[in-house]
Chain A
Amino acid sequence: MTASTLALENVAFAYPGSGFRIEGLDLFVAPGELVAVIGSSGSGKSTVLKLAAGFLAPARGRVVIDGVDVTHAPPRMRDLGVVFQAYALFPHMTALQNVAYPLKVRGVDHQTRRERAMRMLELVGLATLAGRRPDQLSGGQQQRVALARALVFRPRALLLDEPLSALDAALRGEMRDEIRRLQQEHAIATLHVTHDQEEALSMADRVVVMREGRIEQAGTPRQLYEAPRTRWVASFVGRANLWDGVVRETAVETPIGLVKTAALRIPAATRVTVLVRPENVRLGAAADGANTFRGRLVRDRFLGATRRYDLEVGGGTIVGETSEAGAIDVVHIPPDRVQVIQ
Chain B
Amino acid sequence: MAWVTGCYLAYLVLPIVLLVLGSVGEIWLNTLLPHGLTARWYSDVWSDGSFRRAFVVSLEVAAATCVVTALLGLPLAYAIYRAASRGVRMAARLLALLPIAVPPLVLGFGFVLVFSTDVLPYLGSLWVLIAGHVVLTLPYIVQTLVADMRHLRLGVLLQAAESLGASGPRRFLDIVVPSLRHSLGSGLVTVAALSIGEFQLSNLVAGFLTRPYPVVLLQAFYGATGFACAATTILLLLALLGSVTGSLTARGTVSA
Contacts and interface: CB of A to CB of B under 8 A. Distances in A.
A171 to B, nearest CB: 21
B152 interface: yes
A74 B91 CA distance: 30
B163 A92 contact: no
Chain B binding surface, main DSSP class: helix
B150 interface: no
A102 B165 contact: yes
Interface stretch (B71-79, B119-127, B173-181): B173-181
Nearest to B85: A17
Contacts of B175: 90
Interface string B155-168: 01101111111110
B52 interface: no
B35 interface: no
A153 B164 contact: yes
Nearest to A146: B160
Contacts of A88: 153, 156-157, 159-160
B159 A55 contact: yes
B153 A153 contact: no
Contact of A92 (B160, B167, B179): B179
Nearest to B170: A105
A82 interface: yes
Given A76-B166, A86-B156, A101 B179 contact: no
A150 B174 CA distance: 17
B163 A91 contact: no
Given A90-B175, A90-B179, A101-B174, A74 B162 contact: yes
Which of B163, B165, B167 neighbours the largest number of chain A CB atoms within 10 Å of its CB?
Answer: B163
A86 B166 contact: no
Interface string A84-96: 1010111110000
Contacts of A65: none
Contacts of A81: 163
A106 B160 CA distance: 15
Contacts of B157: 88, 90-91
Contacts of B152: 91
Interface string A187-200: 00000000000000
Contact of B165 (A53, A84, A90, A105): A105
B162 A106 contact: no
B161 A101 contact: yes
A55 B158 CA distance: 11
A102 B164 contact: yes
A90 B161 contact: yes
Interface string A161-201: 00000000000000000000000000000000000000000
Given A86-B153, A105-B170, A149-B164, A92 B159 contact: no
Interface string B121-160: 0000000000000000000000000000000110011011
A109 B160 CA distance: 21
Interface in A98-116: 101-102, 105-106
Contacts of A149: 164
19 contacts: A74-B162, A76-B162, A76-B167, A79-B165, A81-B163, A84-B159, A86-B153, A88-B156, A88-B157, A88-B160, A90-B160, A91-B157, A91-B179, A92-B179, A92-B181, A101-B161, A105-B165, A153-B164, A153-B165
Nearest first, the 7 closest Cβ-Cβ pairs linking A and B are A88-B160, A102-B164, A82-B163, A92-B178, A88-B156, A105-B165, A75-B162
Interface of B: 152-153, 156-157, 159-167, 170, 174-175, 178-179, 181
Given A80-B163, A84-B156, A92-B181, 14 more contacts: A55-B159, A75-B162, A75-B163, A76-B163, A78-B163, A79-B165, A86-B156, A90-B160, A90-B174, A90-B179, A91-B179, A105-B164, A105-B167, A153-B164
